[in-house]
Structure 1
Amino acid sequence: MSAPVVDVWGPVAPGARSSFPPAPEPHDEWALAGGAAWVYYSPLNRRQLIRPVILSDGFSSGSSNLDQLWHGLEENGDYRFISELHATGRDVIILGYHDRTASITDNADTAIECIRRATAERVGNAKLTVGGFSMGGLVTRYALARMEQDPTLADHETSLYFSYDTPHQGAWFPIALQAFTHFATDNWGDTPGIGPVLRQFSGLLNSPAAKQMARWHIEKADATPEEASERTAFMRALDEVGGWPRNLRKIGVANGVDTGSGNGIKAGATAVKCGGDTLTDTWLKTQAQGEAEVARLQQTGAGPVSVRTSGLPDIDGAPGGLFSVPSSEGDTGSFGLAGLLMGLLGNTVDPDVITTSCFIPTVSAVGAGDIDDRKALYQPITPDSSALDSFACAGRNEGHTAMTEELGSWLVNEITATG
């Protein structure tokens, strides 16, 4: 599997992959109020900004990491996205943020600043291409739409907006995983070594950005899954600026298939289970429809906590980009992460683990329907059902934001055809 551009939760300590080979020195770096932009001019343009393409980072822990972004875009062994853009005469601006868990609207202010800087420094009058990966697609979508609606902001001078496996209709964080993360943090969050890791993950799930992206969220293990107030407010803010930027062409790609074929994960299956020093008969299940018990959590010596859901679709197996997490044992996924944490807490984990799950359903990535609609999740997607002017979907359900030749070359061709 190709390396994802955006690692959803950052490295899983201890001993996790936490560094990448250094990226080439950028030709220029812009200090922005809420982040930074790294500028790589096309060799065809003699170090002038002529045809800017802004690539926004997405959701993860802490601040944007240029080395990680460069690796995902250029050095993943499948498709050299930046080099291909450079070969067409496009200048690449990688946009990062000081806090990738901050509100989408807050980081959109940084994106607006970057767009205005690009138009000010551009030589000539070529229009911009602006978009992003995962949450970065939402940040730039909102930024461009707001620039069109707010008369105090300059014209974005953008002809093409793109998104790469962006949760336009919401992301899926398995309720079982959310519950286990919060349960473990409540019980062992102060334990040396593992405690900071647990607090980090629980904090990520409860961060402004995660709440805005997640279709269903729980604050605590025993909470009822629902749309967070932060998401409701963000969707309202998006509606207030028109929902989408309109004075440009909108395209996107999905790391899932458009055929309606799921990823093979069965609903209601035991994904991971363990027992040992700290947990007794604890297990997480994949999401099932209707009334479902998705987790049993029990601290050794205490009573069990049952985690139940009602009315959710069987979304873990839906077509879409897969949840990817880097670890010391190689990339894993949502339930694989839970298994790693269980092991770090001193328990024996059953080796028969369903490691991953759907993270960004295809229907969400191409803006073609609600992810709480089971029929929409699993039916083929047609061009006229999408809010995008054009989109491409992967030939298989693969890792979220994985840069592949299939999707990368389609995107480069679309950017080139725009002019």
Structure 2
Amino acid sequence: MSAPVVDVWGPVAPGARSSFPPAPEPHDEWALAGGMAWVYYSPLNRRQLVRPVILSDGFSSGSSDLDQLWHGLEENGDYRFISELHAAGRDVIILGYTDRTASITANADTAVECIRRSASERVGRAKLVVGGFSMGGLVTRYALAKMEQDPALPDHETALHLSYDSPHHGAWFPVSLQAFTHYATDKWGDAPGLGPVLRQFSGLLNSPAAKQMARWHIEKVGETPAPAPERAEFLKKLDALGGWPRSVRKIGVANGMGTGKGNGVKPGVVAVKCDGETLHDTWLGTQAQGAHEVARLQKTGEDAVSVRTSGLPEIDGAPGGLFVLPSPVGDTGSFGLAGLLMTLLGNTVDPDVITTSCFIPSISAVAAGEIDDQKALYRPITPDHSELDAFLCAGRNEGHTTMTEELGAWIVNEIVSAG
């Protein structure tokens, strides 16, 4: 078995070398408890913090990587988001975390510190814009709500909260993928080369942040998919803070369509299967309604394990931001990652693979319905469905947090309109 190099949601550990081109040097860098912030002044503001826009990182492995974040915002799409904000006279503060798998509430404390420092160092009285990408939208949502409710904290002085494909109503990690990852880790987690990768990915799925985001979670093979206790506790705390910051305008975008049109992944079909040296007749399937087998897992020479679900919607094919991960052979999706791991375990994978699935349903990204509701997942989204003051869904179902001109320009216009 060869020793692979697999980049699972970013650098493997804090301080790991980035695989992305280097970002420009920030004008200032703030050390924060539990994180860091990189400050880029608009050329129009003569190296002063005048109109701050805080953009929070989201969920990934290890610590935040400035090169990766800059690449995603400026160079990995068809819209230079930071440049456009600078052209509009906005200073950009990229907020990162020491541990992106830590709980949302822990990283929200880091966001609170960043907001306080931004307000104190700002020249003039322009209100802040605060938000984030993926989980970063939830982290900053919680931080602003906490600042409004905690009398020990100062006014957040924020006019606008933005979220970019954030899991306001939960994220979807296919149960079959969760089961396979934990199964493979149990069987080969101590193997040289691949073992650390398996343990890392299994650990990511069982991390505090993942448990808080995932609408359905299993910690090990054989468990019944359900919200983790950590999610229930987080939602309870968020509800105690009023759910949302109340003194700001709330906007958000989805990397999925708002018309109700899915991504084409059919329910109840085999997504990836393999046979070979270590696995026999093993396959992962897409989610279907009703009592349903979603995976068959069998280490060669051992009894097969059947993974079953009941009462879940057809969510793999739902409109929304797609599950996309970097890998040695290019970006892949949820089931594509499983196929890659199967290959690295010494097996032959059937070439007819469904590579990806929905990750953040559109109704979650724009807070317009519960993702366990089959009808809500596939209905057209209208303003009266959403908890946001304004939102935009993409014209197609695209990779989660992909920066596009369609979504990026809409956000910049909303920021400018906010004053």
Residue 339 of structure 2: aligned partner:
339
Asked if structure 2 preserves the Cα contact closer than 8 Å seen for 1:333 and 1:357, the reply is: yes
Residue 185 of structure 1: aligned partner:
185
**1:266 paired to 2:266:** yes
Residue 153 of structure 2: aligned partner:
153
Task: Classify the secondary structure of the residue corresponding to 1:19.
Answer: coil
Taking the aligned partners of 1:11 and 1:285, their CA distance within structure 2 comes to 29
Task: Classify the secondary structure of the residue corresponding to 1:351.
Answer: coil
Residue 55 of structure 2: aligned partner:
55
Shift of 1:203: 0.2
Alignment map for 1:170-181 (pairs within 5 Å): 170-181=170-181
Shift of 1:77: 4.2
Alignment map for 1:201-220 (pairs within 5 Å): 201-220=201-220
Asked if structure 1 preserves the Cα contact closer than 8 Å seen for 2:8 and 2:201, the reply is: no
Residue 233 of structure 1: aligned partner:
233
Task: Classify the secondary structure of the residue corresponding to 1:283.
Answer: strand
Aligned partner of 1:44: which letter?
Answer: L
Asked if structure 1 preserves the Cα contact closer than 8 Å seen for 2:212 and 2:230, the reply is: yes
Structure 1 segments of 4+ aligned residues over 6 angstroms from their partners: none
Taking the aligned partners of 1:329 and 1:392, their CA distance within structure 2 comes to 32
Aligned partner of 1:86: which letter?
Answer: H
Taking the aligned partners of 2:77 and 2:369, their CA distance within structure 1 comes to 33
Asked if structure 1 preserves the Cα contact closer than 8 Å seen for 2:77 and 2:402, the reply is: no
Residue 167 of structure 2: aligned partner:
167
Shift of 1:273: 0.2
Residue 144 of structure 1: aligned partner:
144
1:155-200 CA-partner distances (Å, limit 9, x unpaired):
0000000000000000000000000000000000000000000000
Shift of 1:18: 5.3
Shift of 1:269: 1.0
CA 1:308 to 1:289, structure 2 compared with 1: closer, same or farther past 3 Å? same
Aligned partner of 2:334: which letter?
Answer: S
Taking the aligned partners of 2:77 and 2:177, their CA distance within structure 1 comes to 31
Residue 39 of structure 2: aligned partner:
39
Taking the aligned partners of 1:346 and 1:158, their CA distance within structure 2 comes to 53
Task: Classify the secondary structure of the residue corresponding to 2:257.
Answer: coil
The TM-score normalised by the length of structure 2 is 0.97
Task: Classify the secondary structure of the residue corresponding to 1:37.
Answer: strand
Task: Classify the secondary structure of the residue corresponding to 2:335.
Answer: helix
Task: Classify the secondary structure of the residue corresponding to 2:71.
Answer: helix
Asked if structure 2 preserves the Cα contact closer than 8 Å seen for 1:11 and 1:326, the reply is: no
Alignment map for 1:7-406 (pairs within 5 Å): 9-10=9-10, 19-406=19-406
Taking the aligned partners of 1:122 and 1:72, their CA distance within structure 2 comes to 26
CA 1:8 to 1:237, structure 2 compared with 1: closer, same or farther past 3 Å? farther
Taking the aligned partners of 1:103 and 1:353, their CA distance within structure 2 comes to 34
Aligned partner of 2:153: which letter?
Answer: L
Taking the aligned partners of 1:18 and 1:87, their CA distance within structure 2 comes to 28
Aligned partner of 1:111: which letter?
Answer: A
Task: Classify the secondary structure of the residue corresponding to 2:177.
Answer: helix
Asked if structure 2 preserves the Cα contact closer than 8 Å seen for 1:254 and 1:365, the reply is: yes
Asked if structure 1 preserves the Cα contact closer than 8 Å seen for 2:164 and 2:254, the reply is: yes
CA 1:62 to 1:214, structure 2 compared with 1: closer, same or farther past 3 Å? same
Taking the aligned partners of 1:294 and 1:77, their CA distance within structure 2 comes to 34
Taking the aligned partners of 1:196 and 1:311, their CA distance within structure 2 comes to 34
Shift of 1:11: 6.5
Task: Classify the secondary structure of the residue corresponding to 1:255.
Answer: strand
Residue 3 of structure 1: aligned partner:
none
Residue 3 of structure 2: aligned partner:
none
Taking the aligned partners of 2:402 and 2:9, their CA distance within structure 1 comes to 15
1:294-321 CA-partner distances (Å, limit 9, x unpaired):
0000000000000000000010000000
Aligned partner of 2:175: which letter?
Answer: I
Shift of 1:9: 2.7
Task: Classify the secondary structure of the residue corresponding to 2:115.
Answer: helix
Shift of 1:221: 1.2
CA 1:392 to 1:259, structure 2 compared with 1: closer, same or farther past 3 Å? same
Asked if structure 2 preserves the Cα contact closer than 8 Å seen for 1:23 and 1:71, the reply is: yes
1:203-244 CA-partner distances (Å, limit 9, x unpaired):
000000000000000000111101100000000000010000
Aligned partner of 1:117: which letter?
Answer: R
Residue 4 of structure 1: aligned partner:
none
Taking the aligned partners of 1:393 and 1:417, their CA distance within structure 2 comes to 19
CA 1:354 to 1:11, structure 2 compared with 1: closer, same or farther past 3 Å? farther
Aligned sequence identity (%): 80
Taking the aligned partners of 2:334 and 2:293, their CA distance within structure 1 comes to 18
RMSD of aligned alpha carbons = 1.3
Asked if structure 2 preserves the Cα contact closer than 8 Å seen for 1:11 and 1:325, the reply is: no
Taking the aligned partners of 1:137 and 1:63, their CA distance within structure 2 comes to 17
Unaligned runs of 5+ in 1: 1-6
Unaligned runs of 5+ in 2: 1-6
Taking the aligned partners of 1:344 and 1:205, their CA distance within structure 2 comes to 20
Task: Classify the secondary structure of the residue corresponding to 1:256.
Answer: strand
Task: Classify the secondary structure of the residue corresponding to 2:110.
Answer: helix
